[in-house]
Amino acid sequence: MEILHTAASLQAHAESCRRAGQRIALVPTMGALHEGHLQLVRAAAAACDVVIVSIFVNPTQFNNAEDFRLYPRLPEADTALLIPAGCTALFLPSVEEMYPQPALLRFDFGALERVMEGAHRPGHFNGVATIVSKLFHLSRPHQAYFGQKDWQQVSIIRQLVADLSFDIELVSFPTVREPDGLAMSSRNRRLSAEARAVAPRLYQALELAAGLVQAGQVPPAAVQEAATTYIQAEPLFRLEYFEVVDAHTLQPITEWQPSQQVALCLAAFLGDVRLIDNVVLPARN
């Protein structure tokens, strides 16, 4: 596995691979890798000749300076995990390498980013789109792999690919969960033992809501209220949002429509750790 630290070295490596006729996959991450990330790397290795994994804690997508400071950084442990998973090149740039000067360009994804994460973290998706665009330009992948735990992010990046005509196939994989249902996340490392014990309640709330949606006997507002009540019954949680949305437009659903695919999305604080999760349901008949 090659380890690259500069934009120029990544660009040169990718161009060399393309000239050799190899298919390139990109797996962008912020490190502190877990099985969710490794699932993406293994899938990329099965489909492509070259698997580039980037590890970069991107400052422009953080609204909270303390969250950025505390985000886990484990490059040595991550490197050891990536080799057997099939990574062929690891890109480990510095902030100065990715942002030699402040970016002036601003992305606006309209209604897609005015809800949920975008509403609670202004500028977050501008930072995501900026760094993902940079990585796409530098590595020129045939495929890019993302996890569905960040459902809104996947929707934003899909729009980015379409609007800027990136010749890239976007591949998303289902959320990987702990045995008790908690969605795997790098931030889980920061949970106290007490918080970790109650954290699965988030997925239980999603399952509760999913059952109500599939039964089809209550309106969306009642689904939202039931899940919200369930989460808030545990005082350690500070719920930021629980939304019942159209899985494609991400807009809140006020009444059920035939053939509509529903996504249930949430964000909540456990202590000072912010967790997100979602469940995407099959289209309703």
Q: Which residues are catalytic?
A: 37
Contact 38, 80 (CB under 8 A): no
32 is in an annotated binding site: yes
Are 185 and 30 in contact by the 8 Å Cβ rule? The answer is no
Please name the residues in contact with 209: beta carbons below 8 A apart, sequence gap of 6 or more.
223, 224, 226, 227, 242, 244, 264, 279
Is residue 61 annotated as involved in ligand binding? yes
36 annotated ligand binder: yes
86 is in an annotated binding site: no
**187 labelled binding-site residue:** yes
134 annotated as a binding-site residue:
no
251 known ligand binder: no
CB 54 within 8 A of CB 89: no
Is 214 flagged in the annotation as binding? no
Nearest Cα residue to 176 out of 17, 47, 43, 49? 43
The span from the CA of 246 to the CA of 238, in Å, is 24
110 is in an annotated binding site: no
186 is in an annotated binding site: yes
192 annotated as ligand-binding = no
Q: With left for phi above 0 and alpha for psi between -120 and 50, is residue 86 left, alpha or beta?
A: left
Cα 22 from chain centroid (whole Å): 27
| Cα atoms found within 13 Å of the Cα of residue 237, Cβ hemisphere only | 25
Q: Is 106 exposed, middle or buried (0-12, 13-18, 19+ CB in 10 A)?
A: exposed
- Annotated binding-site residue? 31: yes
> Does 39 belong to an annotated binding site?
no
Where do we find the tokens 């942002």? 99
Return the H-helix or E-strand segment holding 6. none
Q: State yes or no: 30 annotated in a binding site.
A: yes
Does residue 1 have a known ligand-binding role?
Answer: no
Closest CA to 107 of 161, 147, 45, 69: 161
Output the CA–CA distances (angstroms, integers) from residue 145 to 10, 14, 229, in the order listed: 18, 16, 35
**Binding annotation for (R)-pantoate:** 61, 153
Residues annotated in a binding site: 30-37, 61, 147-150, 153, 176, 184-187
- Give the annotated binding-site residues for ATP: 30-37, 147-150, 176, 184-187
Per the annotation, binding residues for beta-alanine are: 61
